[in-house]
Amino acid sequence: MAGMVIIGAGHAAGQAAASLRQEKYAGPITIVGDEPHVPYQRPPLSKQYLSGEQSIERVYLRPAKFYEDKDITLKLGVTVTSIDRAGKTVSLDNGETLEYEKLIISTGSRARKLSIEGSDLKGIHYLRTIADVDAIAADMQADKNLVIVGGGYIGLEVASVGVEKGLNVHVLEMESRILQRVTTPEMSSYYHKLHEGRGVNIHTETGVTGFSGEGRVQQVLCGDESFAADLVIVGIGIIPNIEIAKAAGLDIENGILVDDHCQTSDPDIYAAGDCTNHPNALLDRRLRLESVPNAMEQARTCAANILGGDKTYASMPWFWSDQYELKLQMVGFSADGDEQVLRGSMADNKFAVFYLNNGKVVAADAVNSPKEFMVCKQIIGKAVDRAMLADLDVDIKEVLASAT
């Protein structure tokens, strides 16, 4: 009997399968994943799992028994080689062929790789999977030289773990500031000072030209400059896994194109997560998001609509990053703002920056300020009194109540 087949075994896949059962779907559900693990959370990998705070069981989205109890078939360590849309089947690299009634593609994304001199040396790591982090953790020993290529959130999260483990940490960023592609100069400066204050060495406008070493990396080369390295972690972005969808003839443009119901150009195929490019009515544009909330909500949308519902996906993007004891929570895109209002003190490591456009809130960055973050999710798109917003003596809920 043809049922639901889900390609990929990440956040979106795990949630889609669970949501199909919650929506009372009783037919077969099969998840096909190329890793040997049940669906797991990626955000803790660069933080709590790498540091040893969390065991692998706590990283799993749901325990293995959940899938057994819900009669969800897991085919792990297996890769889908092709999709036959006419025959409504998928072929696997183990020789199996699966029939589907509806197909969900949640292939996620992969780490962008460097292809320069010495990039194949041992000790050069990427951080995307449990296996990646296990290999990194084995190399992370006190007093070792850790060089991180890329000053984005992943790189900085790893830097915070590394310096707390007693490693000598250098972050190399080719742009003029860390986090340049994702936040404002003020927030970049804040995190730059934070990390340097904890002992991380940050080098901006520093591009990596190669690696050297005898079988294993020993030096990171940056033109005329070089850095001693016992291990290297490269964090220079991710690439959506769209190849299987593209080969099947689905519409592709910076991701698998889906509509607001998460349906692809084939009515029997849906897609969710990092690999999708979707319309967002709240932002009035299409975008491809690399975030857990996006993957989870798109998965729920897929499940509902596959089963005859009419669920529209339109969520304000939000993200988070844990560095040291600080939790950064972001909603919206700061680049959409033309004005900033600071609430709290950056010096106290407890503040929120609200971004306004034409007097209306469009985004916020909140550091150790969960209350402000939650209110911002409700205040987006509304006009606020700037003085009230900046005044800590005014309860943030009063600001929300007065917003128009």
Q: Per-residue pLDDT tens for 90-130?
A: 999 999 999 999 999 999 999 999 999 999 999 999 999 99
Q: Are residues 103 and 248 in the same domain?
A: yes
pLDDT reading at 1 higher than 90: no
- Kindly give the residue spans of alpha helices, DSSP state H, lying in 28-95: 48-51, 56-59, 64-69
CB 248 within 8 A of CB 82: yes
Q: What value does the mean pLDDT take over residues 60-84?
A: 97
Across the strands, what pairs with 172? 149, 203
Is the Cβ–Cβ distance between 149 and 158 less than 8 Å?
Answer: no
In a domain, 49, yes or no: yes
Domain extent, residue 345, equals 325-402
Last residue of a domain, one of 275, 306, 337: 306
392 assigned to some structural domain: yes
Number of structural domains found in the chain: 3
Which phi and psi (to 5°) does residue 9 adopt?
-140, 45
Short-list 371, 326, 330, 328, CA closest to 354: 330
Q: Is 242 left (phi over 0), alpha (psi -120 to 50) or beta?
A: alpha
pLDDT in tens, 78-93: 999 999 999 999 999 9
Is 316 contained in some domain?
Answer: no
Domain boundary among 258, 275, 306: 306
Angle at 336 between CA 333 and CA 338, to 5 degrees: 130
Mean pLDDT for the stretch of residues 42-54 = 93
Specify if 320 maps to a domain: no
One domain, residues 70 and 131: no
Q: Which of 277, 306, 335 is the last residue of a domain?
A: 306
The pTM assigned to this predicted structure is 0.95
Judge if 349 and 336 occupy the same domain: yes
pLDDT digits (tens, 9 = 90+) for 6-16: 999 999 999 99
74 lies in the same domain as 134? no
- Whether the CB-CB separation of 33 and 60 falls below 8 Å is answered with no
pLDDT tens per residue, range 140-182: 999 999 999 999 999 999 999 999 999 999 999 999 999 999 9
Whether residues 95 and 151 fall in one domain: no
The CA dihedral of 315, 333, 188, 276, to the nearest 10 degrees, is 60
Q: What is the mean pLDDT of the chain?
A: 96
Q: Are residues 126 and 201 in the same domain?
A: yes
Taking only the tens place, the pLDDT of each residue in 335-375 is 999 999 999 999 999 999 999 999 999 999 999 999 999 99
CATH number of the domain bearing residue 384: 3.30.390.30
**353 and 298 inside one domain:** no
With residue 149 as reference, give the H or E element that holds it: strand 145-149
